[in-house]
Amino acid sequence: MTDGIQLVPFEEDSYYQDPAGFFARLRESRPVAPVPMAGRGRAWFITRDADVRAALADPRLANDVHHFPGGGRQRPSEAAGGVHAHLLNTDPPVHARLRRLVWKAFTPRRVARLRPWAQEVAAGLLDEMETAGGVTDLLAAYARPLPGAVLCELLGVPAADRGWISAAVEDYGTPGEADRVTRQLSAYLTELIAARRADPGDDLLSALALVRDYVSEDGSGVGLTDTEARSLAFQIIMGGFGTTVNLIGNGTLALLTHPRELARLRADPSLLPAAIEELLRFTSPLNHATDRFTTQDMTVGGTVIPAGEWVFMAISSANRDPARFPDPDRLDLRRDTSGHLAFGHGIHYCLGASLARVEAEVALGALLARFPGLSLAVPPGELRWRPDSLMHGLETLPVRLA
């Protein structure tokens, strides 16, 4: 670009390995920072809590690429299998309609019903770990299988298909695999939704297939199209998997590397819900919100971002902003975490936040109760973080069980 805007150097691997360090430097020196970005020319990181919060609620930042200034664009997933018509790819008023319909199907009762089921799955996984003994990769043995199983149960995926679906979702992040996984899941969900429309069960997919907005004159109601129902199911699987895996993985690592806080939690398990909020703040499973673009020139924190530019609102940076949280780099399970942005803010606030909290409570509660001597099996400095801009998660987490 030739508009004279000086880019901030961006070294991908050092960002993946230490996003908190990268964001701390930006918050201090360039809180609204343009960086070079492969495939996009440049993109902007917004890093201070007040700016991130305001930007997440600002309708001038849009998600639907058909609204891109100077001509709409296509999402890659649009070509790859018709799973693009979901909440994070839409702007008002389409977003409001989808969200209203999804809320009717994704009820608090449905989430509450999953808790005992998730407890059983967790107990089974812990049994297997205990039998195997020794050093275990906690991600492979526990943090990944649990959310995969919960999401399949939520949607009503038949037991026979759960194994390959969980494997496919894990493969999605492997370079070159996203299109194949998208097409495979899209074809599968199309068939399953048709089957559920014909013969509904007591699951979220049936509820999505049948949900209606009673706006038509004859009272028959208007529901989700097949593409919308398929896209929402796809988004729930994708949005609910890696995020929760990372909360369990990153959260466990944070506890194991802060023995005083871990001892506090072990001494008082009623601290668990508050501990999870602090782990969400401190370890932020997502580095930033999903990509938005400016629909017009806008000034953020005194800096003008021109129209038609990609913007990343760094929620994990906001969660470590000393202007919001005193001594933010300290893990403190008893601190006031209200207003953390780990689940986002504004109209796109996480749909699955209550389910994620249930899963984390079940996962961490059961893990700590089962293995009182749980410890890291390698020095923390040897752990590697996955090369992913959006998600902040470990490659592996080797732990010793006793």
**Could you list the residues that contact ligand HEM (CB under 6 A)?**
87-88, 99, 235-236, 239-240, 243-244, 247, 285-286, 289-290, 315, 342-344, 348, 350-352, 355-356
Would you say 250 or 401 has its CB closer to ligand HEM?
A: 250
Would you say 352 or 365 has its CB closer to ligand HEM?
A: 352
Would you say 58 or 332 has its CB closer to ligand HEM?
A: 58
What does the alpha-carbon distance between residue 271 and residue 1 come to, in Å, rounded to a whole number? Answer: 51
Amino acid at 33: A
Contact criterion met (CB below 8 Å) for 230 and 82: yes
Would you say 88 or 401 has its CB closer to ligand HEM?
A: 88
> Structure tokens of 284?
């932020």
> How many angstroms separate the Cα of 88 from the Cα of each of 50, 279, 290, 350, 359?
22, 24, 8, 10, 22
Contact criterion met (CB below 8 Å) for 351 and 235: no
Tell me the closest approach of the beta carbon of residue 32 to ligand HEM, in angstroms: 18
Contact criterion met (CB below 8 Å) for 250 and 392: yes
For residue 60, the tally of other CB atoms under 10 A from its CB is: 15
Would you say 190 or 235 has its CB closer to ligand HEM?
A: 235
> Structure tokens of 97?
């309609």
What does the alpha-carbon distance between residue 208 and residue 230 come to, in Å, rounded to a whole number? Answer: 9
Tell me the closest approach of the beta carbon of residue 218 to ligand HEM, in angstroms: 30
Tell me the closest approach of the beta carbon of residue 134 to ligand HEM, in angstroms: 29
Tell me the closest approach of the beta carbon of residue 2 to ligand HEM, in angstroms: 30
Residue nearest to ligand HEM (CB): 352
Would you say 271 or 350 has its CB closer to ligand HEM?
A: 350
Tell me the closest approach of the beta carbon of residue 125 to ligand HEM, in angstroms: 18
Tell me the closest approach of the beta carbon of residue 328 to ligand HEM, in angstroms: 18
Would you say 262 or 355 has its CB closer to ligand HEM?
A: 355
Tell me the closest approach of the beta carbon of residue 169 to ligand HEM, in angstroms: 12
Would you say 252 or 401 has its CB closer to ligand HEM?
A: 252
Would you say 189 or 315 has its CB closer to ligand HEM?
A: 315
Tell me the closest approach of the beta carbon of residue 29 to ligand HEM, in angstroms: 25
Contacts of 189 (CB under 8 A, 6+ apart): 83, 205, 230, 233, 234
Would you say 33 or 245 has its CB closer to ligand HEM?
A: 245
Tell me the closest approach of the beta carbon of residue 362 to ligand HEM, in angstroms: 12
Tell me the closest approach of the beta carbon of residue 217 to ligand HEM, in angstroms: 29
